[in-house]
Amino acid sequence: DIQMTQSPSSLSASVGDRVTITCRASQNIASFLNWYQQHPGKAPRLLIYTTSNLEPGVPSRFSGSGSGTDFTLTISSLQPEDFSTYYCQQSYNNPPTFGQGTKLEIK
């Protein structure tokens, strides 16, 4: 199985900050990388698929980039509702696997 490793595991930031979360795959996954947001007690929500495609309804302050083994999720200007946990997930092959999550907290 492909291992997905996110960094950092947790992050403190302020409203208005620009933040970047990194995801690394244990092997080349081309552009088959997706990002999800999960608030406590809620189901995950797809933010970005195939590295950089924004899911409809997701604010444009979210963006994704990368290829091969290294990927990033960037939030250009943090809003209060963005404080949450973020997961990357590879869809290159079966089984699809997730990173361990990055918890974004208010500083």
Partner 1 sequence: QVQLVESGGGLVKPGGSLRLSCAGSGFTFSDSYMTWIRQAPGKGLEWISYISSHATTTYYADSVKGRFTISRDNAKNSLYLQMNDLRVEDAAVYYCAREGGAAADFYFDLWGQGALVTVSS
| Residues at the contact surface with partner 1, assessed by CB under 8 A | 32, 34, 36, 42-46, 49-50, 55, 87, 89, 91, 94-101
Q: Which helix (H) or strand (E) holds 31?
A: none
CB-nearer residue toward partner 1: 34 or 75: 34
In whole angstroms, how close is the CB of 15 to partner 1 at the nearest point?
A: 26
Q: Kindly state the tokens that stand for 77.
A: 């200007």
β-sheet bridge partners, residue 24 = 5, 70
Instruction: State in angstroms the smallest separation of the CB of 79 from partner 1.
Output: 22
Rounded to whole angstroms, the Cα distance separating 97 from 18 reads: 27
In the bound state with partner 1, the residue whose beta carbon lies nearer, of 28 and 77, is: 28
- Token pair recorded at residue 104: 């974004």
